[in-house]
């Protein structure tokens, strides 16, 4: 009885605490009048305390019993809009549903469709060209294989997105490639690739300043940069909308070039593929270094 009096005194000194969000689903089993009475009247007798404990035990037992049923989706395993930027998927895990969710299938008005884009058009809807994502997905995976191959062979990749909403996407993509990744988040100055000596001086004569691959997230705003890549024979990847000629870049990816989520998704997939190539390159260099040390030690003996 002494212990009950102790807990009763402790309960009287405590205030009512609102149930957590995780237990809100079980408040439906308590009538509204009981909740009001429980909130307004504190525990006064040992019987009230025992009833309170019994209700809490029953609620916890119900929670443990019912938690194994129903949906298993959580915030971690469910698609979120920010996942395309911070948690991109690998090329082999990309699905058509993800492309549709990012709005990659929306093109421009059918009156603005470039004649050379017709093979990549699925049709029109309400005067808007619908891009055929059944062709976008394999072309995106082809571009991802190219990025992986270039980074595997110690090549450098530059991501270009000169719109303000694309700066975060190109920065994140280049960071995943480490020292082999670069980005241009603002205006790319004309002559950066073709007039290297005038831009950087004699210090770049013996340096590698020409990238091995350039990825354009908004190619229509960087036509001069694409021309410079063509002059220097640099392969290019670009997001091509329905109003653009797919032949302006070497590896076109037909998709909505005005959607930020689409650009983040494509840049993320390409950067993940490039990161795989960087890891392969680092592992190969480590093996070559160990073999070199082994041969050197063997010759020394």
Pair (113, 244) in one structural domain? yes
- Ramachandran region of residue 56, left (φ > 0), alpha (ψ -120 to 50) or beta? alpha
Identify whether the C-beta of residue 211 lies closer than 8 Å to the C-beta of residue 157.
yes
Alpha-carbon span 227 to 234, nearest angstrom: 10
Helices (H), 256-301: 260-300
Q: Model confidence over 183-225: pLDDT tens digits?
A: 999 888 888 787 765 655 666 556 667 899 999 999 999 999 9
| Residues of the domain holding 53 | 2-66
Residue 166 counted as domain residue:
yes
What is residue 137's predicted lDDT score, i.e. its pLDDT? 95
Residue 83 counted as domain residue:
no
Residue 80 counted as domain residue:
no
Pair (132, 233) in one structural domain? yes
Mean pLDDT within 280-294: 90
Pair (133, 27) in one structural domain? no
Residue 14 counted as domain residue:
yes
What is the percentage of the chain residues whose pLDDT exceeds 90? 55
**The sheet that has 236-240: what strands, in order across it?**
181-184, 157-160, 213-216, 236-240, 251-254
Last residue of a domain, one of 66, 84, 109: 66
Alpha-carbon span 272 to 93, nearest angstrom: 11
Pair (234, 146) in one structural domain? yes
Residues 6+ apart with CB under 8 A from 29: 59, 62
What is residue 44's predicted lDDT score, i.e. its pLDDT? 80
Pair (50, 159) in one structural domain? no
Pair (256, 157) in one structural domain? yes
Identify whether the C-beta of residue 255 lies closer than 8 Å to the C-beta of residue 217.
no
Pair (177, 278) in one structural domain? yes
Pair (255, 107) in one structural domain? yes
Pair (52, 106) in one structural domain? no
Last residue of a domain, one of 26, 49, 66: 66
Mean pLDDT within 269-295: 92
State pTM to two decimals: 0.71
Q: State CA 165 to chain mean position distance.
A: 14
Pair (257, 192) in one structural domain? yes
Pair (207, 97) in one structural domain? yes
Mean pLDDT value across the chain:
83
What is residue 258's predicted lDDT score, i.e. its pLDDT? 92
Pair (234, 149) in one structural domain? yes
The CATH number assigned to the domain holding 100 equals 3.40.50.10490
Q: Model confidence over 9-68: pLDDT tens digits?
A: 555 555 444 444 444 444 444 455 455 554 556 778 888 888 889 999 999 898 888 877
Residue 72 counted as domain residue:
no
Residues 6+ apart with CB under 8 A from 230: 236
Q: Is the pLDDT of residue 298 over 80?
A: no
Residue 81 counted as domain residue:
no
Please give the full DSSP string across 77-128, using - where no structure is assigned.
Answer: TS--TTHHHHSPPPGGG--HHHHHHTTTTEEEEGGG--GGGGGGEEEEETTE
Alpha-carbon span 201 to 287, nearest angstrom: 37
Residue 87 counted as domain residue:
no
Residue 193 counted as domain residue:
yes
Distance separating the N- and C-terminal Cα atoms of the chain: 85
Tally the domains of the chain. 2
């Amino acid at each position: 009885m002494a212990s009950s009096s102790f807990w009763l005194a402790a309960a009287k000194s405590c205030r009512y605490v609102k149930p957590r969000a995780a237990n809100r689903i079980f408040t439906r089993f308590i009538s509204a009048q009981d909740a009001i009475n429980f909130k307004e009247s504190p525990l006064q007798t040992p019987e009230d305390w025992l009833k309170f404990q019994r209700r809490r035990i029953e609620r916890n037992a119900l929670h443990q019993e019912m938690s194994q049923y129903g949906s298993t989706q959580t915030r971690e395993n469910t698609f979120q809009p920010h996942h395309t930027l911070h948690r991109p998927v690998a090329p082999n895990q990309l699905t058509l549903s993800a492309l549709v969710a990012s709005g990659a299938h929306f093109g421009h008005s059918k009156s603005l469709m470039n004649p050379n884009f017709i093979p990549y058009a699925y049709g029109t809807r309400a005067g808007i060209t619908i891009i055929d994502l059944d062709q976008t997905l394999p072309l995106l995976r082809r571009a991802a294989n190219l990025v992986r191959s270039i980074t595997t062979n110690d090549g450098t990749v530059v991501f270009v997105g000169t719109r303000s909403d694309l700066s975060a996407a190109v920065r994140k993509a280049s960071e995943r490639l480490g020292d082999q990744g670069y980005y241009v988040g603002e205006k790319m100055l004309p002559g950066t690739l073709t007039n290297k000596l005038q831009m950087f001086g004699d210090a770049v004569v013996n340096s590698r300043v020409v990238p091995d691959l350039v990825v354009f997230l908004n190619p229509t705003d960087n036509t001069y940069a694409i021309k410079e890549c063509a002059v220097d024979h640099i392969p290019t990847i670009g997001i091509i909308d329905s109003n653009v000629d797919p032949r302006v870049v070497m590896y076109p990816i037909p998709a909505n070039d005005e959607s930020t989520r689409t650009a983040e998704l494509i840049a993320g997939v390409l950067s993940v593929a490039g990161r795989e190539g960087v890891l392969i390159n680092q592992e190969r260099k480590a093996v070559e270094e160990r073999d070199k040390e082994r041969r050197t030690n063997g010759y020394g003996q």
